[in-house]
Amino acid sequence: MPFDDLMLRHRARRRQVLLALAGGSALTAAPVWGRTPEAPLPVVATFSILGDMLREVGGERVAVTTIVGVNGDVHRFEPSPRDAKALLEARVLVLNGLDFETWLPRLVQASGFAGQQVLASDGVPVRRLNAEEGHDGHEHDAAPNDDDAHGDHAHDGHAHGEADPHAWQSLENGMIYARNIARGLAQADPRNAAYYASRAESYISRMRALDNEIRTGFAAIPKERRRVITAHDSFGYFGDAYGIEFIPVAGLSNQAEPSAADLARIVRITRESRVSGIFIENMTNPALAQQIARETGVLMGGTLYADALGPADEPAGTYLGMVSWNAGRLLYVLRQAGN
């Protein structure tokens, strides 16, 4: 029957079309054949600044967990079981080194972490710590000093000759950090090495741009005015890089209540050092800082970020944002001091 022939031919046609479609779609999937779908590389950063850098360099190929988070205090941190668990599940650990994370060796041992450790500060020219009291500032070389060069000074607080761990405060060092991180990720995940390298380079070029901007800004300010007081000596590298003298004075940060002696010392040093501004860290009682500003007539500079980033939605929520913020505050204060 002619009708039956027609139906047969239709059915055949339909089958052909379907087969063709199937074949076509199979072909489009061809590039995926032979590879398993990729999960991001689990990595752990010890604190927020490294965490941000990791995210920049690693992009979407990494899943970053940060141990000491936003506004956290790395010096006083106590690890919890949750941190051990996160570490165990990671394949790469990025740490600062230079004795910054004193709690880390025990955490690594306790968690049984067997993955790769990346020393972010590898190859960074290390700065030695001054005494906590403000001196007339020494100029330290970028290269590590001999320990006995300053043996005649008596200091309290940090032992003299200890390495200053806050190397990231200088953008030059930040670039070294980025390269170290890229290299470390490439070792753990060779397939994406090129990806990490290119991301690191673009990150570094942004750092360089910011660095130039900051240098130009500070150069415009006369040297004698580039002197400020902070409560903690975390800005040594920044100071060396841009020619600013940071006078650290202990006794304002993180104490329930200072003594009159502490406050008097700070006021006295401020008066004697003829600084342009006073900067406090995230956690101090603002009433005391205001008292000092009132007493000495020196400008209150506000907050500088030293060991931790601010919340993600704030300017200091990223590494570049933090450096930019600190530089901005300093520039503002130093410019004002001239008037």
Partner 1 sequence: MNGIELLYMPFAEFGFMRRALAGSVALALAAGPLGVFLILRRMSLMGDAMAHAILPGVAVGFLTAGLSLTAMTIGGMLTGLLVAMLAAGVARLTPQREDASFAAFYLVSLGVGVLLISLRGSNMDLIHVLFGSVLGLDDGALILVSVTASVSLLVLAVIFRPLVMECLDPLFLRSESRMGPVVHALFLLLLVMTLVAGFQVLGTLMVVGIMMLPAAAARFWVVSVAGQMALAAWLGAIASYAGLLFSYYANVPASPAIILCAGIVYFVSVTTGPQGGLWQVARQARARRLRLSRIPERD
Give me the residues that bind partner 1 (CB under 8 A), please: 254-264, 267, 283, 285-288, 290-292, 294-295
Q: Closer CB to partner 1, residue 70 or residue 197?
A: 70
Least CB distance to partner 1 at residue 333 (A) = 21
SS3 228: strand
Least CB distance to partner 1 at residue 321 (A) = 23
Q: What single-letter amino acid sits at 309?
A: L
Left, alpha or beta for 222 (phi > 0: left; psi -120 to 50: alpha)? beta
| Consecutive H or E run containing 229 | strand 227-230
- Non-local CB neighbours of 142 within 8 Å, separated by 6+ positions: 125, 127, 240
Least CB distance to partner 1 at residue 215 (A) = 36
For the record, the structure tokens of 318 come out as 């990223």
Q: Closer CB to partner 1, residue 97 or residue 301?
A: 301
Q: Closer CB to partner 1, residue 164 or residue 281?
A: 281
Report d(CA 195, CA 40) in Å as an integer: 13
Least CB distance to partner 1 at residue 49 (A) = 21
Query: Between the CA of residue 174 and those of 5, 206, 236, 237, 319, what are the distances in Å?
Result: 77, 11, 14, 11, 9
Q: Closer CB to partner 1, residue 251 or residue 317?
A: 251
Least CB distance to partner 1 at residue 75 (A) = 16
Q: Closer CB to partner 1, residue 224 or residue 257?
A: 257
